[in-house]
């Protein structure tokens, strides 16, 4: 096992550090930035179906569901296709409306999650086209799907999903861009620009990992917190959910992810000087609005940990700590902002002496309902 961990103390940390390469592997053969081409056999072979689809329904569980939520923002923004993101377990028991003009995308690291598998069987029985985004080759969901695209994250051993999440977002981003180009919802020059930006992501993830030592020192300060709040907007709202899930899973600290603007409708009541609030406040998008959310937290004496774009000054002046990530196009920021949140949960859990790779009560793959 020590050899498999490749010198890292835990699989989770190894997998966090594998992300630049995992994303590169997921690009391989698909992203040809110089030629301005995205090649994905599962899409090319079924392009007509994708172009005629009324909507995309994404079904998934856990972290994979969060990757689905991120991609909802990306698909709608770039490819202008309506997207619904469903917990597989709710969807399958709801007598959902599914037609032959729906495309159902199932996202699953293991490809074995019982609820997700059952959801796609239901969707197929109603005539929908099912596209699988799985990590494990030949898994049940991959086999049951009509077409698909694998994430090439390599084996993920840590129960808390890390590199599977970022490679799922990578595949879904490639899909959204390919469809946007085919539909003509983005110009060829924007397309070209997005591909070049995407190609830079693995190096930027590497850069984001350089915050590790600083994140570790922040973890020291907040490891005894009883509650944590994670806030984000737009593309980074699902990242806030994922950050909170990661902390819950491995440190057993209660954490909630919320859309930053919704804070005033409830969670703001929880804020006092004991409450760490992790706010994703990267430039572009809703930056100014998030800054005003941060002011609201500060005036209630909450402790603020800002995830900001390199060189940011405004948040630095307000927050107790800032963790920088490299600048990038807004729709790609989730691939970067996720990194410090993974590291923060990891370090807190290690400091609390928890079993990081195999947290209590959780399984890597949930093959029962």
Q: Which parts of this chain interact with ligand G6P (CB under 6 A)? A: 61-64, 108-110, 113, 116, 159, 161, 362, 364-366
With respect to ligand G6P, which residue has the nearer C-beta, 135 or 337?
135
Helix (H) or strand (E) holding 144: helix 140-144
Question: Please, how many CA atoms are within 13 Å of residue 121, restricted to the half-sphere of its CB?
Answer: 11
- Contact indicator for 154, 22 with CB cutoff of 8 Å: yes
What does DSSP assign to residue 354?
-
User: Do the strands 102-108 and 55-60 form a parallel or antiparallel pair, or are they unpaired?
Assistant: parallel
Cβ–Cβ < 8 Å for 144, 117? yes
Q: In the chain, what are the helix, strand and coil shares in percent, each to the nearest 5?
A: 50, 15, 35
364 is known as an active-site residue:
yes
Q: Give the nearer residue to ligand G6P in terms of CB position, either 88 or 305.
A: 88
Which residue sits closest to ligand G6P, CB atoms considered?
Answer: 62
Which one, 242 or 324, has the nearer CB to ligand G6P?
242
Please, what is the minimum distance in Å from the beta carbon of residue 73 to ligand G6P? Answer: 19
Residue-wise over 304-320: b if at least 16 C-beta within 10 A, else e? Answer: bbbbbbeebebbeebbe
Do the beta carbons of residue 318 and residue 295 sit within 8 Å?
yes
Selected catalytic residue, list 49, 206, 223, 364: 364
Q: What is the closest distance, in whole angstroms, from the C-beta atom of residue 47 to ligand G6P in the complex? A: 27
Q: Which is nearer to ligand G6P, 36 or 366 (CB)?
A: 366
Judged by CB, which is closer to ligand G6P: 352, or 366?
Answer: 366
* Selection from 334, 341, 338 nearest residue 173 by Cα: 334
Residue 144 Cβ vs ligand G6P, minimum distance, rounded to whole Å:
13
Contact between 282 and 325 (Cβ < 8 Å): yes
Whose tokens are 């980074």? That residue is 236
Cβ at position 357, least distance to ligand G6P in Å: 11
Closest distance between ligand G6P and the C-beta of residue 64, in Å? 4
What are the residue numbers of the active site? 364
């Amino acid at each position: 096992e020590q050899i498999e961990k490749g010198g890292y103390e835990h699989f989770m940390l190894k997998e966090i550090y594998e992300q630049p390469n995992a994303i590169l592997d997921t690009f391989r053969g698909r992203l040809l930035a110089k030629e301005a081409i995205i090649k994905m056999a599962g899409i090319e072979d079924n392009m007509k179906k994708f172009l005629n689809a009324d909507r995309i329904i994404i079904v998934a569980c856990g972290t994979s569901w969060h990757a689905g939520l991120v991609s909802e923002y990306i698909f709608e923004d770039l490819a202008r296709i309506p997207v619904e993101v469903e917990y597989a377990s709710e969807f399958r028991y709801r007598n959902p409306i599914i037609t032959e003009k729906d495309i159902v995308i199932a996202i699953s690291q293991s490809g074995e999650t019982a609820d997700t598998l059952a959801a796609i069987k239901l969707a197929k029985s109603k005539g929908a086209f099912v596209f699988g985004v799985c990590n494990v080759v030949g898994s049940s969901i991959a086999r049951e799907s009509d077409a698909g695209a694998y994430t090439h994250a390599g084996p993920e051993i840590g129960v808390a999903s890390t590199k599977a999440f970022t490679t799922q977002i990578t595949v879904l981003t490639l899909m959204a861009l390919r469809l946007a180009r085919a539909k003509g919802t983005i110009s060829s020059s924007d397309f070209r620009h997005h591909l070049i930006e995407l190609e830079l992501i693995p190096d930027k993830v590497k850069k984001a990992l350089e915050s590790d030592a600083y994140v570790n020192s922040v973890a020291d300060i907040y490891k005894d917190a009883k509650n944590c709040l994670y806030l984000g907007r737009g593309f980074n709202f699902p990242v806030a959910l994922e950050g909170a899930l990661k902390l819950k899973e491995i440190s057993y600290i209660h954490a909630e992810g919320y859309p930053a603007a919704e804070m005033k409708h409830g969670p703001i009541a929880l804020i006092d000087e004991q409450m760490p609030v992790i706010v994703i406040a990267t430039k572009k998008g809703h930056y100014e609005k998030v800054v005003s959310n941060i002011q609201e937290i500060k005036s209630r004496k909450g402790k603020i940990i800002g995830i900001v774009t390199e060189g940011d000054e405004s948040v630095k002046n307000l927050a107790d700590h800032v963790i920088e990530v490299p600048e990038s196009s807004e729709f790609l920021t989730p691939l970067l902002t996720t990194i410090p949140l993974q590291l923060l949960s990891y370090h807190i859990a290690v400091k609390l002496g928890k079993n990081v790779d195999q947290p209590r009560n959780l399984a890597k793959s949930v093959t029962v309902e």
